Amino acid sequence: DQQVKQNSPSLSVQEGRISILNCDYTNSMFDYFLWYKKYPAEGPTFLISISSIKDKNEDGRFTVFLNKSAKHLSLHIVPSQPGDSAVYFCAASDQGGSEKLVFGKGMKLTVNP
């Protein structure tokens, strides 16, 4: 049973355009959501997060939107840069529970120069 779903395995965008990465979750107990970025042969690195008490969090070129009623979140990257090319993982946790992170399968973003 996949609690965090990233239904699109890949996305290709032009440099300077917007990249939108989507994520859906099924567990209503999740109250904290994170995006991780992973380059080949490296461990995932934290990118941005959002608590369920908010619907938007912005950090430079990265913005995460949370729609709790739809159990959906998205990551917007504007403008996209070639260095953003990586695999992006959506993750969620239940802060009131074990705090363990549950990850989606990941989505490969390619930003073309």
Residues that bind other proteins (CB under 8 A): 4, 6, 31-32, 34, 36, 41-46, 49, 51, 53, 89, 91, 93, 95, 98-106
Find the shortest distance in angstroms from Cβ 40 to other proteins: 11
Find the shortest distance in angstroms from Cβ 17 to other proteins: 26
Name the residue nearer to other proteins (CB basis): 31 or 71.
31
Beta bridge partners of 24: 5, 72
CA–CA dist 45, 47 (Å, integer): 6
Find the shortest distance in angstroms from Cβ 79 to other proteins: 26
Name the residue nearer to other proteins (CB basis): 43 or 113.
43
Name the residue nearer to other proteins (CB basis): 19 or 44.
44
